[in-house]
Structure 1
Amino acid sequence: MTQTETTTPVRTATQTAPIGPDDATAARDGGLLARVSHAVGRRIAFRTGDVRPARPILSITFDDFPRSASVEGSRILEAHGVRGTFYVASGLFDRHSDLWTVAGADAVVDLSSRGHEMALHGHAHRPAAAMTAGAFAADLAANRAALRRLVPGRSNESYAYPYGICGLPQKRWLSQTVRASRSVMAGINLGRTDLDFLKSVEISERSLAAVPMEAWLDRLVRDGGWLVLFTHDVCDNPTPYGTTARILEAAVAGALDRDIAIMPVAEALDACGIA
């Protein structure tokens, strides 16, 4: 998975972040057509926005999301007076796996009541390109319906691609039905930006070994824009797709020390003047 990248502090032009859990299996799921659809889809923007916030912005996001993220992740953010975005795969509530246990519906209600943003991550948590256009639309509708039952009054939610995999017709549908969609392609969002493939940076030891968090934050301060961080579990011994409390704490504290505004994705879109 490569794409020209112009906002990475250290990596070369074609390097990108890892997709995530079971990325090889996910990329194969759906066959050659799905892989081609993803490769084409990530390069075609159906809508763009000019991301030039008056003050550099950081958003911290959690995918799936494991119970440890709902407990430890939220604790760290709230201790600093900031809030994050939790991408909810509603069909996975309370599900156990070799990686983690997914938080339940009660966590969605609780986190939302404390000011965190609940966002869309697909109901079945399948790669978008592995589904037909109709199946993807139905999965997204189920995800949205589940969230709105738990948190009434929500509308115009944002979305994160499971495994970072999009697809051309799926991306087109998202451009018409959600506010913005987040990828896992590494970079800072600045200037003319594909709103259905927002760049982000994984908070994990493997990712930050290549480009330290300090480098991302310094680049954000120097050039401006909007940096979105993502992770999964938050614990002392995280999976390769998660992070430790120490790393997350350092990211939050480092941003605040640099006078970077930390806010959920929806608030960041507001601050960038994106409807």
Structure 2
Amino acid sequence: MSMAAPAFNLRTDLDAMWLLPSLKPRIANQLAGLVNTAPAWMKNERPLVSFSFDDVAKSAAHSGARLLAEHGATGTFYVSGSLVGTHSDYWINADRDDIVELIRSGHEIGCHTHGHLSIANATPERIFAETRTNTRFLRTLEPDLKIDNFAYPFGRASPGLKKRLATRFHSSRSTRAEVNHGRIDLQLLSAFPLMDRKMTPRVIDRILDRAVQTNGWAIFYTNDVALQPSPYGCSPALLAYALTAAEARGIECAPIRDALLKIGAERTF
């Protein structure tokens, strides 16, 4: 005699799912996209592109910055203070002098969490505290440094974290692969991985064409910039292709801080 399956209880079963470590950050990240924490209508006069570098690898601070300079551009480097001057599994990280040189060259320094923690292993309050620690560290390099923009480590957000970050940062960048256009959420900016294992020139062309069609803002992110990049980085050739392709379409290249002003999203606090 077969036994009937127990009835599904929405509250009980969802609570149980929420407690599973592997599901909690994924559910939170999905929910983050359903709540527009910092709505803004884009009012830019021409399409935009931004190039951002996470963590930051020494090769990004050198080869990446050099390629941007060759195209008359600057980028946004989201620094995680605890990684500065260290070695990771895939690359050597930028040291203090590298970060200072980026600042002097006109690049934007953005904020990661100091210990590269994400919503998968820390509460929103812990992450917010980490951003304060990171800011203090970065200002030991340049006391007057403005740090207005954040990037979610591993691209993981949550509704509660977005709300908390909105009290401190002008924007927070995710890893949602879309062109920003029309009405956007400043605390969940979309961005594409500029990584050799995930991106091709043909896909870059489609992304930039979409930015032109929508008068939108395409943001790219990567980690290292090397002839043999890590799984999370790009080759100089791929970065150069994206820069050249944007120029050919008349797309203006700007770091995150400048692009926010160009879309009319002036900071009010």
Asked if TM exceeds 0.5, the reply is: yes
Give distance in 1, aligned partners of 2:214 and 2:185: 18
Whichever of the two has the greater Rg, that structure is: 2
State the shift of 1:108 in Å: 1.2
Matched, 1:212 2:191: no
1:200 aligns to 2:191 (yes or no): yes
Of 6, 23, 33, which residue of structure 2 is paired with 1:42? Answer: 33
Q: Which amino acid aligns with 1:274?
A: A
Q: Does 1:101 align with 2:101?
A: no
Secondary structure at 1:112 match in 2: helix
State the number of aligned residues.
248
Write the mapping of 1:1-275 to structure 2, written as runs, cut at 5 A.
31-155=22-146, 157-209=148-200, 212-275=203-266
TM-score normalised by the chain length of structure 1: 0.85
Report how far residue 148 of structure 1 moved.
2.2
Unaligned runs of 5+ in 2: 1-18
* Superposition TM-score, scaled by structure 2 size: 0.87
Partner of 1:4: none
Whether contact under 8 Å (1:49, 1:195) holds in the other structure is yes
Q: Deviations over 1:6-55 (max 9, x none)?
A: xxxxxxxxxxxxxxxxxxxxxx9955444432232232121111123101
Whole-angstrom distance in 2 between the partners of 1:42 and 1:263: 25
Change in CA separation of 1:59 and 1:150 when aligned onto 2, cut-off 3 Å: same
Q: How far did residue 219 of structure 1 move? A: 1.6
CA contact 1:52–1:190 (8 Å) conserved in 2: no
Say if 2:43 and 2:262, in contact at 8 Å, map to a contact too. Answer: no
Amino acid of the residue matched to residue 144 of structure 2?
G
CA contact (8 A) 1:129 1:170 kept: no
User: Relative to structure 1, is the Cα distance of residues 156 and 103 closer, same or farther in structure 2, using a 3 angstrom cutoff?
Assistant: closer
Counterpart CA distance in 2 for 1:29 and 1:203 is 31
Distance in 2 (CA, whole Å) between partners of 1:129 and 1:65 is 21
Superposition RMSD on alpha carbons, in Å? 1.8
Gapped regions of structure 1 (runs ≥ 5): 1-27
Indicate how the Cα distance of structure 1 residues 81 and 135 shifts in structure 2: closer, same or farther if over 3 A, else same: same
2-structure distance, mates of 1:120, 1:194:
18
